[in-house]
Amino acid sequence: MIMLSGCGYKPTSHYAREMLGQKIYAEVIISRKDPRNSVLIKDAVNEAIVSRFGAKIVSKEEADTVLNVSIGSVTFSPTVYDQYGYVIAYKALVKLSITYQDSNGKSEKVSTSGEYDFSIEANSVISDTSRFNAIKYSSLDAIDEFVSKIAIKGLQNGNNNQ
């Protein structure tokens, strides 16, 4: 630990927090085609704000940054078959479009995607629980990609200011 702190190591969440601030408002645009997935993604975004950014969820008026998240797509693709040709594993893929606006009114759009692999019983359908978990975890993966992209921008801005 001393070695990491002594050499100036900072986690990606530090740079993302520098870019986005401590107070974030997140708005997930509810898809008319898929309102259930929108709600799941809203929960995943809120969870990520707290756990990944270490930030607080606040009202739009109090926010340092406003995130507008819209769903590009949610897809399920078979990935593994058993010896009889039945699907036994799927990959969920969630594509998000995230526009973030800082308190100065500057905004930027970032496209991300996340995936999650899961198994099912042979010759069965995807249960609601499996589907919900797959969407949640692939959304968290997409948010992690967003954190990485924002952290890179924060790191670049920090190097440009030196």
What is the per-residue pLDDT for 29?
Answer: 86
Given a contact cutoff of 8 angstroms between Cβ atoms, the answer to whether 55 and 20 are in contact is: yes
What is the per-residue pLDDT for 95?
Answer: 95
Tokens of 144: 């992690």
Query: What residue type is 100 in one-letter code?
Result: Y
What's the pLDDT tens digit per position in 53-108? 778 889 989 988 899 999 889 999 999 999 999 999 999 999 999 998 877 788 89
Residue-by-residue DSSP string for 2-66: HHHHHTT---HHHHHHHHH-SEEEEEEEPPSS-HHHHHHHHHHHHHHHHHTT--EE--TTT-SEE
Supply the pTM of this predicted model: 0.81
SS3 103: coil
What is the per-residue pLDDT for 78?
Answer: 95
Domain ranges of the chain: 22-157
**Is 22-157 a domain of CATH 3.90.950.10?**
no
Tokens of 74: 């949610």
What's the pLDDT tens digit per position in 36-66? 778 888 888 888 888 877 788 899 899 888 9
